[in-house]
């Protein structure tokens, strides 16, 4: 459950000082370090875990013995496991992610070229999501409070649930069918000449399900917050509807909304894998798919590592934002 209220939080009876911020930031950094370490270990063991001889499968079915030997040397398979791990970590520390077989280029170059596309897509989609979902959810929550406007409530509930249940790549296909094939107003895939316009459909495909999910949460939380005693207190102080909504309701919605947005943003990185494929969007998602398909293991390792670190960074950013918005998060040990 993502909802937490004042009553089920541990009550730390201490006044905020510098120390709580420092320990909060340290805890979050520790969490980030853990995620990065596990990601480094996991990406390293991809190659040794591949059944059979990774060099044979990477070199392809038509490879000669020489080619296989060269791939084996490039993957470092001729060295002991521990030395390879040290090499891998040492390379990472110098920003060396290895060398891509299929593109014959440093993995770091490939990643740097593709990263802006995925970042633009994910953050663009997130902005759209928050700009639409929060006002929508609050409005529906306020309009349907206390069992009012039943029809609006169930129409909203069913529509959002159905749309959110559509997998992103299916939604992407439907969007192509509608906007590119039938209406012919938007390009069906990435075109180098107009990157902005061609980003519209993938961003929509990524954001629509999340809009529905977050709007549902905001609607439910609005209903809960409107019933809270502190809102009655604010009404008793006669502060007016707008001031009450913005100062007393919104901050208490943000905790759960932000928590969920972090999860959704991380999920968008996953969704990008399939959506980028539909639109041939040259980001990291399509990159990792191509790398796996061509058994370009160093490229797989590099992109997966970058995506994992990105998702950890986003989780940490959201945590820190939460700490700013909701001081109780800083006090608790499990945040």
Partner 1 sequence: MAELTQQAGTAPATPVSRPGRLRWNAALIAGTVLLVVTGVVVTIAALTMLESAEGLSPDIAQPASAAHWLGTDDFGRDLFARALVGAQASLLMALAATAISMTAGVLIGTAIWTAPRRVREFALRIVEITVSYPELLVAVVLAAILGAGRWQLVVAVALANIPATARLAANLSGSIHQRDFVTTARLTGVPRRALISRHLLPNMAEPLLIQVAAAFSTGLVAMSALSFVGLGVQTPDYDLGRLLADALPAIYSRPIEVVGPTLLILVLSIGAMLIGDGLAAAADPRVNRTAPRTPPATTEPRQRDSADAPEPAESSAPVQVRDLVVRRADGTPLVHGVSFDIGRGEILGVVGESGSGKSLTALSLSRLLPEGLTAEASRLRVAGVDLLGRTTRRELADAVAMIYQDPGTTFNPALRMGSQLTEVLRVHRGKSAREAREIITGLLEDVHIVDPPRLLRSHPYELSGGMRQRAMIAAALAAEPSLLIADEPTTALDVTVAAGILRELERIRDETDTATLFISHDLGVVEELCDRVLVMKDGVIVEELSAEQLRSGEVTDPYTRMLLESVPRLSTTPGAGA
- Judged by CB under 8 A, the residue of 23, 83, 237, 246 near partner 1 is 237
Pair of tokens at residue 204: 């929509």
> Is residue 84 within the footprint of partner 1 (CB under 8 A)?
no
Long-range pairs, 14-17, Cβ under 8 A, ≥24: 14/331, 16/327, 16/330
CA angle 61, 66, 71 (to 5 degrees): 70
Report the alpha-carbon distance of residue 168 to residue 8 in Å, rounded: 35
Instruction: State CA 31 to chain mean position distance.
Output: 17
Question: Between residues 57 and 102, which has the closer beta carbon with respect to partner 1?
Answer: 57
Report the alpha-carbon distance of residue 93 to residue 90 in Å, rounded: 5
> Is residue 81 within the footprint of partner 1 (CB under 8 A)?
no
- Give the footprint of partner 1 on residues 165-224 (CB under 8 A): 165-170, 173-174, 176-177, 181, 188, 220
Interface region with partner 1, contact rule CB under 8 A, candidates 76-84, 123-131, 199-207, 263-271: 263-271
For the bound state, the minimum distance from the C-beta of residue 298 to partner 1, rounded and expressed in Å, comes to 12
Under DSSP, is residue 254 helix (H, G, I), strand (E, B) or coil? helix
Question: Between residues 43 and 108, which has the closer beta carbon with respect to partner 1?
Answer: 43
- Judged by CB under 8 A, the residue of 18, 49, 151, 196 near partner 1 is 49
Question: Between residues 25 and 164, which has the closer beta carbon with respect to partner 1?
Answer: 164
Interface region with partner 1, contact rule CB under 8 A, candidates 75-83, 96-104, 192-200, 226-234: 226-234
For the chain, where are the alpha helices, taking DSSP H only? 18-49, 54-59, 65-75, 81-93, 107-143, 150-164, 168-175, 195-226, 229-236, 241-243, 250-278, 284-293, 297-325, 327-331
Under DSSP, is residue 63 helix (H, G, I), strand (E, B) or coil? coil
> Is residue 280 within the footprint of partner 1 (CB under 8 A)?
no
Question: At which residue do the structure tokens 């420092």 appear?
Answer: 22
For the bound state, the minimum distance from the C-beta of residue 255 to partner 1, rounded and expressed in Å, comes to 7
Pair of tokens at residue 175: 């969007």
> Is residue 46 within the footprint of partner 1 (CB under 8 A)?
yes
Question: Between residues 59 and 234, which has the closer beta carbon with respect to partner 1?
Answer: 234
238 phi/psi in degrees, rounded to 5: 55, 55
User: Which x/- pattern, by CB under 8 A, does the window 4-43 give for partner 1?
Assistant: -xxx-x-xxxxxx--------------x--xx--xx--xx
- Judged by CB under 8 A, the residue of 29, 105, 240, 246 near partner 1 is 240
For the bound state, the minimum distance from the C-beta of residue 131 to partner 1, rounded and expressed in Å, comes to 21
| Residues 242 and 250: beta-carbon distance below 8 Å | no
User: Which x/- pattern, by CB under 8 A, does the window 286-305 give for partner 1?
Assistant: --xx-xxx-x-x--x---x-
Question: Between residues 88 and 248, which has the closer beta carbon with respect to partner 1?
Answer: 248
- Judged by CB under 8 A, the residue of 137, 187, 267, 302 near partner 1 is 267
> Is residue 161 within the footprint of partner 1 (CB under 8 A)?
yes
Question: CA separation (Å) from 204 to 124, 132, 175, 216, 237?
Answer: 10, 12, 8, 18, 42
């Amino acid at each position: 459950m993502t909802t937490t209220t004042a009553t089920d939080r541990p009550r730390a009876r201490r006044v905020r000082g510098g120390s709580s911020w420092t320990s909060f930031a340290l805890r979050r950094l520790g969490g980030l370090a853990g995620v990065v370490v596990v990601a480094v270990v996991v990406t390293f063991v991809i190659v040794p875990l591949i059944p059979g001889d990774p060099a044979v499968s990477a070199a392809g079915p038509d490879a000669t013995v020489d080619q296989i030997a060269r791939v084996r040397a490039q993957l470092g398979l001729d060295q002991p496991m521990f030395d390879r791990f040290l090499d891998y970590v040492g390379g990472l520390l110098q920003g060396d992610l290895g060398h891509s077989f299929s593109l014959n280029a440093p993995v770091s170059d490939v990643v740097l070229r593709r990263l802006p596309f995925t970042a633009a897509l994910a953050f663009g989609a997130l902005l759209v999501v928050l700009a639409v979902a929060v006002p929508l959810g609050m409005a529906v929550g306020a309009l349907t409070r206390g069992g009012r406007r039943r029809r609006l409530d169930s129409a909203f509930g069913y529509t959002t649930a159905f749309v959110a249940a559509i997998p992103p790549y299916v939604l992407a296909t439907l969007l192509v069918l509608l906007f590119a094939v039938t209406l012919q107003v938007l390009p069906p895939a990435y075109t180098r000449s107009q990157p902005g316009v061609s980003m519209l459909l993938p961003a929509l495909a990524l954001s629509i399900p999340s809009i529905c999910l977050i709007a549902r949460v905001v609607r439910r939380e609005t209903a809960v917050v409107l019933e809270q005693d502190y809102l009655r207190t604010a009404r008793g102080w006669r502060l007016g509807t707008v001031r009450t909504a913005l100062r007393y309701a919104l901050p208490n919605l943000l905790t759960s909304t932000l928590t969920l947005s972090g999860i959704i943003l991380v999920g968008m990185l996953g969704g990008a894998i399939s959506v980028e494929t539909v639109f041939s969007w040259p980001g990291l998602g399509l990159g990792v798919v191509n790398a796996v398909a061509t058994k370009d293991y160093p490229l797989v390792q590099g992109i997966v590592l970058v995506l994992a670190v990105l998702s950890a960074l986003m989780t940490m950013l959201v945590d820190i934002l939460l700490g700013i918005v909701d001081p109780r998060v800083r006090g608790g040990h499990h945040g």
